[in-house]
Amino acid sequence: MIDRAEWCRQAVRRRRPVVRRVMAGGIAAAAALAIPALATGPATAASHVPSGARGAATAASHAPSGAHGAATAAVSGTLRAWGLGSNGQLGNGTGQTSTVPVKVKLPAGTKVTSVRAGCFHTLALTSTGQVLAWGSNASGELGDGTTQFRTTPVRVHIPAGTTIKAIRAGCFHSLALTTTGQVLAWGLNTNGELGNGTTTESHIPVPVSLPAGTKVKAISAGEAHSLALTSTGQVLAWGFNAVGQLGNGTTTDSETPVPVALPTGTKVAGVAAGGLHSLALTSTGQVLAWGFGLQGELGNGTDNNNSDTPVMVTLPPGTTVRQLSAGCEHTLALTSTGQVLAWGFNADGELGNDSTEDSDVPVMAALPQGTTATEVSAGCNHSLALTSDGRVLAWGRNDDGELGNASTVSSGVPVQVNLPASVGAVATGAGPEASVSFAIVQRPA
């Protein structure tokens, strides 16, 4: 039997083609594999935004909890999904991939405020503070007490009386932030990514063992590690740490949260976990990075070094960043002027600068002239941007229709997602390990 966590890590280093090929048969093929059936997927989308990062209409779906107020202040709507669907991760009742947006089959009357995707599973936060999940469930990453694949949303078994205000999906694990500042986790736990002091997977949410008195206001999940931003502006990390992605000066995994070694005096406003790297947005709009750096993920002008402590990303002079989102091996940053910066791996054009060369410093994504971005979301090897007029742009790898433009041709520059003309997007979602994309949409008033 192949260890799923090691298999996933090896696939990460091979830049994901193996993941997509192995899972190409999805639900039908799962029974025939020696590897247990897998699932898919924050968004990174963006629990990574300091206050004021976006206008009121789009602000809260992906902001770190507390950055834009409680979850009830978030925009909400129905869901469209596109991209890899072989494990049910599109949530439309099939196991099929789609190159154009399809409707997610939400329970009647449900409105969604945030959506995030893991390797093969998806999470959605509802306007009532509950969590839905669908896709692969081999390690319990759907949190419904089973290991059964789901092609439509099911309710995560959140403890009674608990309200959730943020969600994040790792490769095979899931995180939820409660309104009281605690963190719940479920799914695979081989490297301690659930943060509860064990390496035993859980099919229902369990509390992360935070230090006494700690309140968390934002979370993020990488391939097999997790990040939490505390109410005091510090960062905690736990899980897989082979390349220093926990940022505590070691390469030793941790089953409980450990403090990231931030520079003295630094206050953090947002966090973002990539496949094997991590980032923090400071209160001054600068960016720190740590972990895997061999494709330029650290953004500090080097592409041959990992770092087990935070280093400063080399932003263009005068740039202020308002949101971060990280993919497998690249990072997106939304600036205060509505432009998008990107750095890291670029073989499929995921940096959006009309090139396929990696970059170890931030470069500008080639947004259409006059376009203002209000949010960014990174998938594994693709990128999304929400515009101020409710469109979604996408670029990078498109083998499974991740760009949503009715093709499977990758693009090194942004292209428009084929959303119906009758709706406008108010938020987007993907995830650092995802080959699927989402948009929360509303009909015009």
Higher pLDDT, 19 or 371: 371
Q: Are 229 and 270 in contact (CB under 8 A)?
A: yes
Is residue 153 within 8 Å of 211, Cβ to Cβ?
Answer: no
- The answer to whether domain 4-442 has CATH 2.130.10.30 is yes
- Is the pLDDT at 6 greater than 50? The verdict is no
pLDDT in tens, 200-241: 999 999 999 999 999 999 999 999 999 999 999 999 999 999
Percent of the chain with pLDDT over 90: 82
Among candidates 341, 332, 337, which has minimal Cα distance to 274? 332
Distance CA 398, CA 436 (A): 10
- The dihedral region occupied by 145, where left means phi > 0, alpha psi between -120 and 50, and beta the remainder, is left
Tell me the HSE value of 199 on the side-chain side, using a 13 A CA sphere: 8
The HSE-up count of residue 427 (CA atoms within 13 Å, CB side) is 33
Round to whole Å and give the CA distance between 96 and 28.
Answer: 11
In the prediction, which pLDDT does 75 show?
82
pLDDT tens digits along 16-54: 333 332 333 443 433 332 223 322 333 333 333 322 222
For residue 74, what pLDDT is reported?
64
Go through 172-202 and write b for each residue having 16 or more CB atoms within 10 A of its CB, e for each that does not.
bbbbbbbbebbbbbbbbbbbbbbbbeeeebb
Residue 33 has which token pair?
């594999």
Q: How far apart are CA 230 and CA 279, in angstroms?
A: 15
Cβ neighbours of 4 (radius 10 Å): 20
Q: What is the pTM of this model?
A: 0.87
Q: How sure is the predictor about 303, in pLDDT bands with cuts at 50, 70 and 90?
A: confident
Instruction: pLDDT band for 58, please (50, 70, 90 cuts).
Output: very low
Say whether pLDDT at 139 is over 60: yes
Is the CA virtual torsion 247, 249, 250, 251 positive or negative? positive
Edge-to-edge order in the sheet of strand 373-378: 373-378, 382-387, 392-396, 411-416
